[in-house]
Structure 1
Amino acid sequence: MKRSTPHPRSIWILTACWLLPLLCLALSLSPLVRSADVTMANAASQEYARRLALFSINVYGKLAAQKPGENIVFSPFSIQTCAAMARLGAEGETATQLDHGLGLASSDAAEIAQTFHEVLAAYQDSQILRIANKIFVMDGYPLRQEFDELLTKQFLSAAQNVNFAKNVEAAATINGWVEQRTNNLIKDLIPSSALDANSRLVLVNAIHFKGTWQHQFPKHATRPDTFYLDGERSVQVPMMGLKERFRYADLPALDATALELPYKDSDLSMLIVLPNSRTGLAALEDKLRITPLSQITQSLHKTQVVVRLPKFKAEFQVELTPVFKQLGMSKMFTDQAEFGKMLQSPEPLKVSAIIHKAFIDVNEEGTEAAAATGMSLVFRSLPSARQVPIRFFVEHPFNFYILNKDATALFAGSIQKL
């Protein structure tokens, strides 16, 4: 018999991510992919990357509007993964809204889970990219077997029981797990005030990346230089310098150029998209909304490039409920939310918050980045001889992405001030 409950209990969705310079240059790296069994079919991986890139653009647009003029760094992969875990427990219109809003390729829970499993498993043994999922469940509320099995087997996510009524202890447990998985870069993801006796589940995804540049910037070449914040204001920043062969693209349709900086011993790279104008970031971002990332990466060709790139750090935190609502995923936050596939008990559930924290640090040696999301339910051309080097001077606001070979966006953002 169904329990009569006036207000659905809460589910929290939390994500955290970070990127930082890799200082240990002698790091021994394991293969990124254990076997061909976990390698995604080309077409399927490209379609997944395309859909994730679209989700990334949609989220970025809302974040930029929400925090104008601010540096933005986030992990679209982390956010989407965490929300997809919640989707596995959803039904009806709630599930349909999540399918559309997240840009999922299927509405079948098993197929959704398999799609994410192929990405997660591909990096399961990686020493530079670590992805972890976790679900914290209220004591005395066991998960439904089907939901538990999908999370455990496909999202590689273990469940842990906590007593949310002891909110300080519960928050410490969750935040301690996130800190451990993000090299202590993401702290205090969830405030204790967000938890209480009505909390039932907290879904968390944490992603940590620490990569060394394939071509490191020599430290002696770093010197103070000008970074233009807009058409008038400027600041002096430590500007790194390097001359090397990189994949580069002139993108006249975007009034921009792009450069790919690969990381050592991986299929990951940083893509920088730089508007031609000092004040061209907003116009570029409008065009990026209708330009697939894969179209940019396919336009890249190897050539000699003189690079000037500022060292930068950025931290970002945001509560994503307004973003999800603007993207059409609103029912999950209401008393009419349908999450009947999560718990064995007929407890009504709704999402009370989606918290995302991210950090990035780029220097001469490489990049370290981290992010966490928590959801609480209450192209190539031949080189020409003696080619004149291209100048790629990052002297004003720009967009960046950390991508794999399929252009899957693990991290994304923009730097507007230093």
Structure 2
Amino acid sequence: MRKIFLSLLAALLLTGSAVAGTFEESVNNFSLKFLNASYKKKKNILISPYSIYIAFSPVYEGAENNTEKELKRGFLYPEKSVLRKLIKEEIEEKKSDENLKLFNGIYIQKGFKLKGNFLKTVTNFYQPEIKQVDFKNKTERIKTVNLINRDVEKTTKGKIKNLLKPSDVNSLSRLIIVNAIHFKDNWLIPFKKELTENKPFYTLGKTVKVPMMKTSGRFKTFENETVKAISLFYKNCYRMNIFVPKTENFKLTYENYNNVLNKLNFKNVDLEMPKFKLKNRTYLKKPLSKIGIKDVFNMEADLSEMTGKKNLYVQKAIHQTFINVDENGTEAAAATAVVIGLKSILPRPKKLFKIDRPFFFTITDKKGTILFTGYIANPLEE
């Protein structure tokens, strides 16, 4: 029997079924949960949990039974009626944000019918650009892939290119849900380019010379026996939080993250941290399955709220990201796409804060929502 498949292509922890009370709590909980599912000690990681969370929200909207339960537990989504309002508020808020550009798009096969209530809800609360396309014809299918890639590239100012490959979509594809974001802001306390010099960075197993930036000022810091942390403000109230583990078994869990942030205090600091640039494209099925999201990727998936039939599943999940951190500030971008188709089979500083070994980081918005998170094992590896 032919069914409808769904593949997710994209531009980020705590185990449990409790649902956080606010949008930022829910996203942050998922962010760190997903980071830990993806984490490897000797590999750089860059993900945008924010993009993945928003892109999967319409999938959750269309899910029923165990599929819905797994998505709710894995992403720590609130009830659907609550999530709709939170997402809508978030999208409305970001429209006036000059530092963060957000795009949602839905590309639907001409003549393919979705349930009226589902389409109305998604259109109203997620506010996507909706475009009619043709997946059935090979030539038109390639044009659709190019159209989506252009929309993503435009939103991310050229930082995310070729999110979709022609092989990611086929004649059975019927619906693609896309999210893309772009962030750029300058440091509140910039680094002086003339002070940047190659210095040692102690990766796991070897020492490498990396461009180490330097600045001085008042920064919020914290240190205990397991981690040292620092928070760097951007000019427009965004923040980069950096966590440098002091023990091999340190994990950046949701509890650890909040505990450290709550204990940060301003100190006069001489700061040294590496410049780094990183881009990543990864399939999400494996890390999402590690946090309990499994049904939506197989024939047991129940996405009947989309079409009225149990004929949808997630075929692929791809996430693509970019970040560049230098003396002036940070530019970062991410994209996530969901493809649905037919199933078939100041005073003198007194403290030196040196970031010269592997570290975790987050970039948060004005409310503290994690937009990007990652792990730098080696700043030289892009």
TM surpasses 0.5 = yes
Please say if 1:270 is aligned against 2:240: yes
Post-superposition offset of 1:388: 5.5
Q: Distance in 2 between matches of 1:316 and 1:63?
A: 12
Aligned residue among 212, 229, 246 for 1:239: 212
Aligned residue among 69, 72, 82 for 1:99: 72
Post-superposition offset of 1:169: 1.5
Deviates more, 1:334-343 or 1:352-361: 334-343
Aligned residue among 296, 319, 324 for 2:288: 324
8 Å CA contact 2:212, 2:275 repeated in 1: yes
8 Å CA contact 1:16, 1:178 repeated in 2: no
Q: Structure 1 residues 119, 45: CA separation in 2 closer, same or farther (over 3 Å shift)? A: farther
Q: TM-score, normalised by structure 2?
A: 0.90
Match of 2:328 in 1: 365
Q: Distance in 2 between matches of 1:123 and 1:273?
A: 27
Q: Structure 1 residues 290, 205: CA separation in 2 closer, same or farther (over 3 Å shift)? A: closer
Post-superposition offset of 1:158: 2.1
8 Å CA contact 2:9, 2:283 repeated in 1: no
8 Å CA contact 1:9, 1:198 repeated in 2: yes
Aligned residue among 282, 297, 304 for 1:340: 304
Summarize the alignment of residues 211-230 of structure 1 with structure 2, pairs less than 5 Å apart: 211-230=185-204
Q: TM-score, normalised by structure 1?
A: 0.82
Post-superposition offset of 1:8: 1.8
**CA shift digits 1:351-378 (9 cap, x unpaired):** 1111101111000000000011122234
Please say if 1:400 is aligned against 2:366: no
Match of 2:167 in 1: 193
Q: Structure 1 residues 198, 208: CA separation in 2 closer, same or farther (over 3 Å shift)? A: same
Deviates more, 1:6-15 or 1:210-219: 6-15
8 Å CA contact 2:217, 2:349 repeated in 1: no
8 Å CA contact 2:288, 2:294 repeated in 1: yes
Q: Distance in 2 between matches of 1:204 and 1:347?
A: 22
Aligned residue pairs total: 366
8 Å CA contact 1:14, 1:205 repeated in 2: no
Query: Percentage identity across aligned positions?
Result: 29
8 Å CA contact 1:213, 1:264 repeated in 2: yes
Post-superposition offset of 1:387: 7.8
8 Å CA contact 1:12, 1:203 repeated in 2: no
Aligned residue among 10, 33, 36 for 2:5: 10
Post-superposition offset of 1:228: 1.1
Match of 1:36 in 2: none
Post-superposition offset of 1:251: 3.4
2:108 is paired with a residue whose SS is strand
Q: Distance in 2 between matches of 1:292 and 1:132?
A: 32
8 Å CA contact 2:302, 2:310 repeated in 1: no
Post-superposition offset of 1:156: 2.0
Q: Distance in 2 between matches of 1:160 and 1:142?
A: 14
1:313 is paired with a residue whose SS is strand
Stretches of structure 2 lacking an aligned partner (at least 5 in a row): 13-18
Q: What is the root-mean-square deviation in Å for CA atoms of aligned residues?
A: 2.2
Q: Distance in 2 between matches of 1:119 and 1:389?
A: 40
2:57 is paired with a residue whose SS is helix
Q: Distance in 1 between matches of 2:338 and 2:365?
A: 25
Match of 1:261 in 2: 232
Q: Distance in 2 between matches of 1:354 and 1:7?
A: 21
Stretches of structure 1 lacking an aligned partner (at least 5 in a row): 1-5, 18-43
2:183 is paired with a residue whose SS is strand
Q: Structure 1 residues 97, 352: CA separation in 2 closer, same or farther (over 3 Å shift)? A: same
**CA shift digits 1:117-158 (9 cap, x unpaired):** 222222111111111111111111143332223222222212
Q: Distance in 1 between matches of 2:146 and 2:166?
A: 8
**CA shift digits 1:183-234 (9 cap, x unpaired):** 111111111112112111111111110111111111111111111112x511
**CA shift digits 1:14-70 (9 cap, x unpaired):** 3329xxxxxxxxxxxxxxxxxxxxxxxxxx9974323322211221122125xx521
Q: Distance in 1 between matches of 2:168 and 2:2?
A: 16
Please say if 1:174 is aligned against 2:148: yes
Please say if 1:154 is aligned against 2:122: no
